[in-house]
Amino acid sequence: MLRWNYKYGLLLCGLLMASGMQAQQNTDRYYLRNGNRLYRDSLYTEAEVDYRKAIEQNNRFPQAYFNLGNALFWQQKPKDAMQAYETAARLETNKTRLASIYHNMGVILQSQKQFAPAIECYKNALRNNPKDDESRYNLVLCQHQLKNNPPQENENKNDKDQKDGDKQNQQQDKQDKQQNQDKDKEKKNQQQEQQKQQNQQQDNTMSKENAEQLLKAAMQNEKETQERLKKQMNQPQRKRLEKQW
């Protein structure tokens, strides 16, 4: 469970009410107070805006980064929340608040089944606050989960290898498909060319045969004509009388 430290926000509220001049000078604390009010009303998106305004006024304000991480977490933005917590951990000097930062980081990592880094976060929380029973409980639970589950790094590596393998298979399938299409196209072109040549050969053969048939027919006709003329010449000629008028 994420932790939320209200004492800091309430203390700021009292200070701001005591001195209007101080409120004007400490605008980063003013935005932090407004963000805390919105956070308590579960308006996490609006709270995020004020926390970011506080950071714009003072980019070394660890409490603003910590509360920003909380607001981002409840918006289901664990990656952004982790970045905010990491910045808060670098800037925070108070051990109690630092323990809370590491505790929340452990919660996010544990929820993502990244048990090994979550364990380190809980250990850091206990180093800064040995009386932190909640972090101690989460640490034991996380160690048990790590024992019964493979490390997340291996799972990520296997997932990456699987994705890379699938990508390579897809590329290979695409190449094979293209090669098969090229082969089919080439085979089709060869078949068309062969058919064209066969048709040309058939046309040439038909033309030659037709020419020979026509020549034979012409020679036969000429022979018959010659024989008929020869026969007529050998017959006696009849005399014809012309009638006189």
The pLDDT, as a whole number, for residue 188 is 82
**Is the pLDDT confidence value at 219 over 80?**
no
pLDDT-derived band at 181, boundaries 50, 70, 90: confident
Cα–Cα distance measured from residue 91 to residue 87, given in angstroms and rounded to the nearest whole number: 6
In this predicted structure, what is the pLDDT of residue 5?
60
pTM of this prediction? Answer: 0.56
Beta strand extents in 168-207 (DSSP E only):
none
**Residue 227, pLDDT score:** 72
Q: Residue 193 has what pLDDT? A: 80
**Residue given tokens 């053969």 in the structure block:** 205
Domains of the chain: 1-77 (1.25.40), 93-150 (1.25.40)
Residue in 75, 127, 80, 71 with CA at minimum distance from that of residue 103: 127
Q: How far apart are CA 28 and CA 239, in angstroms?
A: 151
| Axis-axis angle for helices 6-18, 27-40 (nearest 10) | 130
Give me the chain's average pLDDT, please. Answer: 80
Of 119, 104, 27, the C-alpha closest to 73 is 104
Q: Quick one: average pLDDT of 172-179? A: 79
